[in-house]
Amino acid sequence: MEFSLIFESIFIISIMIALGSVISRTFPFNSDTRKLLVSLIVNIAMPSIILSSILNVEINRETFKMITNVFVLSVIINLLGILIGWLFSNTFYRHSTKKREIALLSGLGNTGFIGIPLCAALIGPEGALFAAIFDAGVDITLWTIGVLIIQKNRQFSFKSLKELINVPTLAIVFGLFIAYFNMKPPAVFIELANQLANLAAPLAMFYIGVLVMNLYRKKTQDSGQEIWIPIVVKLIVLPACVALMVTYLNLKSDISQTILIQSMMPSLTLASILFAKYSADENMGAFTTVLSTIVALITIPLLLYLFL
């Protein structure tokens, strides 16, 4: 992997986030505009980049085996991050009431909004495909174990599983289905997916830039000193553990690079939404997401330089 490409990609992401911060001054950021941006990203851009990746990669039995491996490793890595965050919070802030939030923010990363576009830019279509599978593992962990952790009464509800039935997940299933049966969609459909896939990175980065300015305007303060734990664990400790893990696993280079990059992603963008839904600390989720994203612009290229 060319390190010049890594720094170039991170630089472009930084510029797009800055542009998002600038354009946020031109419209009111409320629940309606937030829903619009999220809907465009989740329901159009992300499914398009997933389908575009699948349609541009040769899918065979060996590829399906690698996809399974990536999904299983994703769940393991997510749970490992949650565990490390929980251990850190118990060690440094034993009496904290934010242990649930800290654990989830430490383990679950922004593997969709940032991870998939970045892997596509650095590795290519295969990287985007494996990144999408990794993100599916994050979704599974979030809406099962994550929901169980964040709820105060610890009661699991199968209604939460409905959140797994979303457009990106359906795009993965549909794409793998037509690939498995060797179906070739019309050329115009493939071109449409390729064109819409180009929206993923700009829209996602603009959205994060808007979040940055929104929090700045509100002068949101962090929810206690504990905020350093998910940032350190998610951006440094967990990637180091994953780097050690992949050195002992005989994985294809594209897979190991994708897994490593995805493990370096900042905290989950949907954290504040999830926390609000289950009466957790929404401000902590939003602030950690934004701050960890800014810090990740520095840590991602540095860690890739060290580990690759």
Question: Mean per-residue pLDDT for 233-250?
Answer: 94
Please write the tens of the pLDDT for every residue from 124-139. Answer: 989 999 999 999 999 8
Residue 67's pLDDT band (cuts 50, 70, 90) = very high
Please write the tens of the pLDDT for every residue from 2-34. Answer: 677 788 888 888 898 899 888 888 888 787 887
Q: At 204, list the tokens.
A: 């996602």
Provide the 3-class DSSP secondary structure of residue 242: helix
Residue 37's identity, in one-letter code, is L
pLDDT of residue 276: 67
Quick one: 18 exposed, middle or buried, by C-beta within 10 A (0-12, 13-18, 19+)? middle
Measuring CA to CA, which residue among 281, 214, 295 is closest to residue 28? Answer: 214
Residue 104's pLDDT band (cuts 50, 70, 90) = very high
pLDDT of residue 218: 64
pLDDT of residue 229: 95
- pLDDT beyond 80 at 51: yes
Question: Mean per-residue pLDDT for 38-58?
Answer: 86
Main-chain dihedrals φ then ψ at residue 253, nearest 5 degrees = -60, -40
pLDDT of residue 119: 92
Q: Which residue do the tokens 């350190």 mark?
A: 232
CA distance linking residue 238 with residue 251, whole number of Å: 19
pTM (two decimals):
0.85
